[in-house]
Structure 1
Amino acid sequence: MHAPSQPRPSLPRSSSRTRPARSAATRSSLVLAAVSGVLLAVVACAWEPLVSLDRQIADGLHPVAVEHGGWTRCVRVLSDWLWDPWTMRAALAVAVLWCARRRDWLLCAWLAGTSALGTALQQGLKAAVGRPRPSWPDPVATAHYAAFPSGHALTATVTCGLLVWLLWRHGVRAAGVRAALAAGAVSVLGVGFTRLYLGVHWLSDVMGGWLLGGALVAASASLYDVLTARRRDPGPA
């Protein structure tokens, strides 16, 4: 008689779920970083087709913002309050506190460190590129520092990306993750539009913020999974 077959041991949840996601995150971070580098290069050398496109979009939106004052005030509330970088950082701080209550100190430091790195990255690039913002005789909003990349777009992308990743990593139901992903997409796209509509950024500034923020989140998630996998599986002694 044949011995009864032994059931196959199932892969740990962390291995079966995070390994494919880690590979996807790594590939995404490399692609986004490469595209970001190309965009940075053409912005830095003031490539004429890009400059022309940026100016065309800005010139088309600004008269609309000037003419529709009520709608413009609503857009300013969204840009300056709801999707402001400090509001985004406050939302991420709540997530850090939640991780602290669970005594997940590594994840606390990882979230805070990724957010801080995003801020340092955007400020460093602003200083290095020194791109002027759009200038208008009748501005509807003002902003500080150089134009590239958009700090609003980058911070929203980093914050929303990290929050969605955190929910997914902690096993929140698919419906909850999809809802968070939808809300994050609205926030990221919405804040980019507000910066263009208010005439304080060029389109390529916003795209730069999106690309750099996405690359940072993908790289952060991938590195965290590698680190935690090594801590769980230290290998043979």
Structure 2
Amino acid sequence: MSQRPRPCRWLRRPGSDLGLRLTLAAAAAVLLLVPFTVLMLLVATAWPPLLALDAHLAATLHAGTSANPALAGVLQLWTDMFAPGPLRVLVGVVAVWLWWRGARRVALWAVVTMVAGGLLGAGLKLLLGRDRPEFLDPVSHATGYSFPSGHSLTAALGAGVLLLIFLPFVPDASPVRTQRATRWTIIAAALIVTVATGLTRVALGVHWLSDVVAGWTLGVAVIAATTAAFATWRGLPARRSPQGGSGRPPPRDMPGRT
């Protein structure tokens, strides 16, 4: 009998490659935080070349959007569908489903990743206090500060979390070409949601491009950091009872385990 697929293999039970997986995740988090920190410092110090590039791209994209009401409507629909609220609800529903299936550590990882990323983004908005673009003929409106883009951050978090959860569900029994096509389709969908959601914010005139890039970078960095943290937690040895057995029942954090 074939076992049911186990979501998010990075968080599965520890094995000989735990150190490698942990190192890769931690390194990815650090490497992504470097460009984010540089970008944040450039924004905080109002570096003229960055401000000029942001202003030029914002004005150009906004001009094209305002001249095409139909396009503006499509972009607004997209940005509303993949706003932070709906994406958080979607990940929450998936987390409940994972918990029900017994993949409780993965469910916790998904929730912690979304909450940690959201709180970090909100804190940075208050810290930087960057104003949003302003136009005489705005096609959309948004409140709050601008850096980093909450839509872009949440899109990266939500798409990344769902990608890591559902990629392992591609059936191993499928032909190799079918497996590859399915996996690349899932990856492409995650990338499209992340990139398109961020770009709609610039085209609608409510964010600078640097806000969007910062949101993407921070989102992926948070995923890498929480993955490393949960992989470490998953690798901790079980406590031993005085009788020599484990001090806790066998983990049921993955569906299909017996």
Alignment match of 2:213 (pick from 187, 207, 213)? 207
2:51 equivalent in structure 1? 51
- How far has the Cα of 1:193 moved from its partner? 1.0
1:17 & 1:177 partners in 2: Cα distance? 22
Percent identity at matched positions?
A: 31
**Which protein has greater RCO, CA pairs closer than 8 Å, 6+ apart?**
2
Alignment match of 1:187 (pick from 169, 185, 193)? 193
- How far has the Cα of 1:26 moved from its partner? 1.6
Deviates more, 1:223-232 or 1:112-121: 223-232
Q: Kindly tell me: are residues 233 and 36 of structure 1, through their superposed partners in 2, closer, same or farther at Cα, counting changes over 3 Å?
A: farther
| Residues 140-177 of structure 1: per-residue CA shift (max 9 Å, x gap) | 00001100000000001011111111234667655444
2:250 equivalent in structure 1? none
- How far has the Cα of 1:17 moved from its partner? 6.0
1:157 equivalent in structure 2? 156
Structure with the largest fraction of helix? 1
**What code does the residue aligned with 1:134 have?**
P
Unpaired stretches in structure 2, ≥5 consecutive residues: 1-11, 173-178, 245-258
1:16 & 1:97 partners in 2: Cα distance? 30
| 8 Å contact kept, 1:150–1:205 | yes
List, as ranges, runs of 4+ consecutive aligned residues in structure 1 with deviation greater than 6 Å: none
- How far has the Cα of 1:105 moved from its partner? 2.6
Q: CA RMSD in A?
A: 2.2
**What code does the residue aligned with 2:94 have?**
A
Counting matched residue pairs gives 223
SS of equivalent residue, structure 1 residue 15: coil
2:251 equivalent in structure 1? none
| 8 Å contact kept, 1:165–1:221 | no
**What code does the residue aligned with 1:140 have?**
V
Give the alignment of 1:1-237 within 5 angstroms.
15=15, 19-81=19-81, 83-168=82-167, 173=172, 174-175=179-180, 176-231=182-237
1:232 & 1:30 partners in 2: Cα distance? 29
SS of equivalent residue, structure 1 residue 141: coil
2:48 & 2:19 partners in 1: Cα distance? 43
1:37 & 1:18 partners in 2: Cα distance? 28
